Amino acid sequence: MQATKEAVLSLYEPLMPRTAELKRRPETTPAGSGPTGQGATPSKGLDRSLTLLEILAEVDGISLSDIALRAGVPASTAHRILTTLEAHSFVSHDEERGRWFIAVRAFQIGNAFLRHRKLNDIGRAQMRALMEETGESVNLAIEDQGEAVYIAQVESHASIRAFHRAGSRGPLHALAVGKALLAGMDDVQVRRLLQRTGLPRFSPNTISDPTALFDDLAAIRARGWSVNAEEHEAGMCAVAAPIYNEHAEVIAAMSITGPATRLSAERLAELGPLAKRTAADITASIGGRLPG
């Protein structure tokens, strides 16, 4: 159940910084700072909700009075929380027996957490090997709510290198990982997503025209990798390739990212096939399969 608790908790965390950085040395966080340091204010309601989920996960059905007793809260409070969780399909209620159960949504989110953790654990060796081969930072990202979310990085040894914090987000249409994820969707899905997010311009190179973006996605699907030529930030370039599940669906993307001074157009063309090869290796490692 720990995976489910961490996964549900992540839904309530504030967004991390949304931009990539070029950095010269690893950053440090002062002790006691940040969301888990001293001074952080926990959410009492969220804490109780997670406690109730943990209790429900340990038993095969439980009464309201028993769950309230175990959680150390009034029955009215437990009922209010359970009703909210039920509305979101995290728990279910058998009225005949008066029992509460863990429900499908909790399983789905916990399973997603485990899947991404599996990606991190299994893909890290290939990512590190690719970083050593190319000399550039290698990143892993997924799509969430119309954005690319970085979930792992193996940093380059270079003094100036690209850096993406785990949890940082960015626009799908302006990032290499984002366009690799978009290329895994059909045109109807992409149009629906663009209706929500639009195509904001972040640099002179950002693709902000829908026709141009669909042309780029068609090229990405044909060759198997995407390019970000300073489309999100001046001075930052990348190539990326998709990672597939057992149904040949894109579930993540892996990128090679670095400063434009090292990643010329010619160098990006060389790195694209390497990204594609490593993404295919990770796909095979997690039991996925390539389309076609």
Q: Give the 3-state secondary structure of residue 117.
A: helix
The per-residue pLDDT for 46 is: 87
Name the amino acid, one letter, at 285: S
The per-residue pLDDT for 278 is: 96
The per-residue pLDDT for 36 is: 40
The per-residue pLDDT for 168 is: 86
The per-residue pLDDT for 112 is: 62
The per-residue pLDDT for 105 is: 81
The per-residue pLDDT for 15 is: 35
**Taking each helix axis from N to C terminus, what angle separates 64-71 and 75-87, rounded to the nearest 10 degrees?**
110
Name the amino acid, one letter, at 101: F
What CA dihedral angle connects 36, 37, 43 and 44, to 10 degrees?
110
DSSP 15: P
Give the residue among 142, 136, 125, 96 at the shortest CA–CA distance from 245. 142
Q: Give the 3-state secondary structure of residue 68.
A: helix
Give the residue among 240, 242, 253, 219 at the shortest CA–CA distance from 291. 242
The per-residue pLDDT for 45 is: 82
The per-residue pLDDT for 31 is: 39
Q: Which residues pair with 99 in a beta bridge?
A: 94
Name the amino acid, one letter, at 86: E
The predicted-structure confidence for 164-187, as pLDDT tens digits, reads as follows: 777 788 999 999 999 999 999 999
The per-residue pLDDT for 26 is: 43
Roughly how many angstroms between the first and final C-alpha of the chain, as a whole number?
A: 37
What are the helix and strand counts (H, E) for the chain? 9, 10
The per-residue pLDDT for 129 is: 95
Q: Which residues of the chain have pLDDT under 70?
A: 1-42, 108, 110-117
Give the residue among 164, 162, 144, 151 at the shortest CA–CA distance from 119. 151
The per-residue pLDDT for 60 is: 85
The per-residue pLDDT for 27 is: 42
Q: How far is CA 82 from CA 9, 57, 87, in A?
A: 16, 13, 9
Cα–Cα distance measured from residue 193 to residue 66, given in angstroms and rounded to the nearest whole number: 44
Return the structure tokens found at 119. 């990606």
The per-residue pLDDT for 58 is: 85
Cα–Cα distance measured from residue 279 to residue 274, given in angstroms and rounded to the nearest whole number: 9
